[in-house]
Structure 1
């Protein structure tokens, strides 16, 4: 059985880290190196800068005759060589750190903090492990949420393929049963069974959260009554993985006459079954969320 979808279709191209939160993760290190750099070079700058403004030839010749100019060059050149090697090592270290923090799909097109907040918290788009790097780049290159939703609608087949690859890579013994149900979501979507795929994804997400978090931990990651999810309140991987999960748990109360949302939500998937909530694109959102959370536990759980 298949439900119709109003989104366009197009085939695609077929260790928690702390102690800093996301927005402040690299700032202390950046400030530290900036201060070291400034302290080391300040004496040289203070000596050399006034000389650079000597306008008269006689003064320049006196400086040259005094040997100060040569001395500065002799002092500065080794320092420059030292810092060229030093900063090369620093930036190589940044690259290594980025690869440890971010999954492979974010290595080539790593969003800024502002982009993370927009896509994860304002639009509920998972970015950890899925979708693939080309889709991530496409999502970052368009100006608004409407265009990003259209991209996910057009590239759904490629996104499903990438989700399948990530799911199949999950090998933690405690997650194998969940992995099997996630593969069922993939199969259902491929076969055009969008409604069952979305329902299974929503319930599988709930089961993963129930199995691996206490009630208080789940509340911190999903409750909208506690206020907006703050990326800085969590380790980087936790923040990036569960911010869109928080978005998907937006409150929906049929008894209060709340309209059924058109974007994917855990509560309307369970309590607002309708053509407004159920669609292929929302099933893809659900699959991406489940894949991201499943892989998070695969990486973080003790073995």
Structure 2
């Protein structure tokens, strides 16, 4: 079949011989009721409680420290600036990036004469929170929420756990979606290596079967069987959602009516890891109805992979997207399942 004519790049990882060992068989499903309840709480829950505590502490500290020297009515007082800072703090915490630098800069007028040692522990604890939220491939890059939303929701590029940090950085620095697609095309071998490395670390017994099939996708890609790789990955994605989510959760994560309603995946409806992992899943489930004359999309989609088999939909780049997607979802369940 015709492939995207793009130069190849070995990417971040060296090519390795695939492991041909058999994976464990399918295990009994576990009780996921508590997991469902947790997954669909707003992802702000990771940060808002701590954010509220910090905001309250900052406001009280400013009020106590500044009250003796502030006039009763001052337009540009440190306390007023602190109130504005607290609101800015909420946005920055949602972005989860540059927070420490922002806090230090905003507090410069206050901390010039007042440097309590407890600030150091506050900054350290915020760094720990960010590290717990970001998977390893994003910790050094630390993209902000706007960048994440553009790539995950607008373009359906998986970024959780894969690809590696250098490729993530290149994708964030690229000027547009077409350039990002070319990057994935050039670095496909390295991205396959990244996916295999993440799958190698998957240990939860309830995703071992899926892990084995994902590794089959990687092996098929390496061998040049791109159509087989994409078809298997698309069906594996569907199987993962069927196995690990009830119908209501599954519909909520995959109902993509953007073409008709203009409603996009809403980050604020989910916890951070859920939002970042499943936004590209939502993107991949864009409605496609051949009977309505819908054109076959060039970007990877679960429905056109099943109902629009063609040279337009099936390509090496789309197979790489699909492998990245199932790898992210498998690793999510590996880390989150009880």
Q: TM-score range by the shorter chain?
A: 0.7 to 0.9
Shift of 1:100: 1.1
Alpha carbons 2:40, 2:269 under 8 Å: kept: no
SS of corresponding position for 2:310: coil
Q: Which residue of 1 aligns with 2:114?
A: 80
Q: Which SS does the other structure have where 1:11 is aligned?
A: coil
Task: Give the superposed CA RMSD.
Answer: 2.6
**Deviation at residue 8 of structure 1 after TM alignment:** 3.2
The answer to whether the aligner puts 1:276 opposite 2:312 as a matched pair is yes
Looking at secondary structure, tell me which structure has more helix per residue.
1
User: Which position in structure 2 is the counterpart of 1:204?
Assistant: 236
| Conserved 8 A contact 1:18-1:236 | no
Task: Decide whether aligned partners of structure 1 residues 40 and 211 sit closer, same or farther in structure 2, where only a CA change above 3 A counts.
Answer: same
1:5 is paired with a residue whose SS is coil
| Aligned match for 2:192, one of 155, 160, 180 | 160
1:98 is displaced (CA, Å) by: 1.0
Q: How many correspondences in the alignment? A: 272
Structure 1 alignment gaps of length 5 or more: 51-75
Is the counterpart of residue 10 in structure 1 residue 9 in structure 2?
Answer: yes
Deviations 1:141-200 (CA, angstroms, capped at 9, x unpaired):
122111111111111111110100111111111111111100001101111111111111
User: Which position in structure 2 is the counterpart of 1:95?
Assistant: 127
Give per-residue Cα distances to partners, 1:232-253, cap 9 Å, x unaligned: 1111111111001000000000
Q: What does 1:17-96 align with in structure 2 at a 5 Å threshold?
A: 20-22=42-44, 25=47, 28=52, 31-43=55-67, 46=70, 80-82=114-116, 85-96=117-128
Q: Larger radius of gyration, structure 1 or 2?
A: 1
CA contact (8 A) 2:155 2:177 kept: yes
Deviation readout 1:267-289 (Å, 9 max, x if unpaired):
00111111110111100000000
* 8 Å contact from structure 1 (residues 260, 276) kept in 2: yes
* One of 242, 246, 251 as aligned partner of 2:282: 246
Cα offset, 1:21, TM superposition? 3.2
| Corresponding residue number in structure 2 for 1:117 | 149
Q: Distance in 1 between matches of 2:52 and 2:256?
A: 30
Q: Is the 8 A contact 2:253 2:278 kept in 1?
A: yes
Mean Cα displacement is larger for which, 5-14 or 166-175? 5-14
* Structure 2: segments with no counterpart, 5+ residues: 14-34, 75-109
Q: Is the 1:128–1:241 contact (alpha carbons within 8 Å) kept by the matching residues of 2?
A: yes
User: CA offset at residue 105 of structure 1?
Assistant: 0.7
**Distance across 2 between alignment mates of 1:146 and 1:33:** 46
Distance 2:113 2:41 in 1: 33
TM-score, normalised relative to structure 1? 0.83
Q: Is the 8 A contact 1:23 1:113 kept in 2?
A: no
Equivalent of residue 216 in structure 2, options 184, 192, 207: 184
Q: Deviations over 1:93-133 (max 9, x none)?
A: 01111111111111001111111110010000111111111
Matched position secondary structure for 1:90: helix
Alignment partner, residue 86 of structure 2: none
With over 3 angstroms needed to count, the CA separation of the structure-2 counterparts of 1:37 and 1:189, relative to structure 1, is farther
Task: Measure, in 2, the Cα distance between the counterparts of 1:134 and 1:33.
Answer: 38
Moved more, 245-254 or 22-31: 22-31
Task: Report the CA distance between 1:24 and its aligned residue.
Answer: 9.3
SS of 1:252's partner is coil
Q: Measure the CA separation in 1 of the matches of 2:293 and 2:302.
A: 17
Structure 1 pair 115–22 and aligned structure 2 pair: CA distance change class (3 A):
farther
Cα distance between partner residues in 1 of 2:152 and 2:112: 46
